[in-house]
Amino acid sequence: MKRLFSFSGLSLLLGLCAMSMSAQNPVGDNRAATDRVRDQFVGAWRLAWLEEQGTDGKIHKADCTGLLVYTRDGHMSVQVMYRNPQPDSQPSPQPQSSAASLQYAQGGYEASFGTYEINQGDHTFTFHVEGALVRTLVGKDLPRAFELSGKQLIVKSTRPEEHWKVAWERD
């Protein structure tokens, strides 16, 4: 009976120590928060809208469709198709064609894949491009700000020279 009591006491003591250590471990708390956010990212998202700066300097909604996929193990891929693309080599009189769309798209199509890391503290993630239709993107780290709002994931570049914003939705 004494042995059973000392084993129970030891178990209780170990449990209290573990709880105390986790309460004093902000790294563990940050990781748990990041994991919760990552869980919200995971899955397939369809393009709801994309705003970008046109050649006239004003922000316009682009006429496009797309798919964004995040996996639990940290991979992502994105595809966007402009419905009425302009040739890449000619300037476009239409406001939806912009330097941003040309930087990420070719022939009216954007496609890239790679890995991502979330920084919950400042609501950003970094997309590490491993492959892309626009080859100059391969190997780049693209920092992005995000906001989760209801069924939408709103993403924009953190680069001050890029003036675009995109909303992704899922059912």
Q: What is the DSSP string of 71-89?
A: -TTSEEEEEEEESSPPPTT
DSSP bridge pairs for 66? 80
Q: Is the pLDDT of residue 28 over 70?
A: no
- 117 residue type, one letter: E
pLDDT at 57: 85
108 close to 86: Cβ distance less than 8 angstroms: yes
pLDDT at 86: 66
- Lowest mean pLDDT of 36-50, 91-105, 116-130, name the range: 91-105
- DSSP summary character for residue 3: H
- Quote the CA–CA distance of 50 and 54 in Å, as a whole number: 12
Check residues 109 and 25 and name the one with the higher pLDDT.
Answer: 109
pLDDT at 102: 59
Q: Is the pLDDT of residue 25 over 80?
A: no
- Give CA separation, 24 vs 18, 37, 79, 122, in Å: 10, 22, 42, 22
What are the tokens at 115? 């890995």
Above pLDDT 90, what percent of the chain? 55
Q: What is the mean pLDDT of residues 3-16?
A: 43
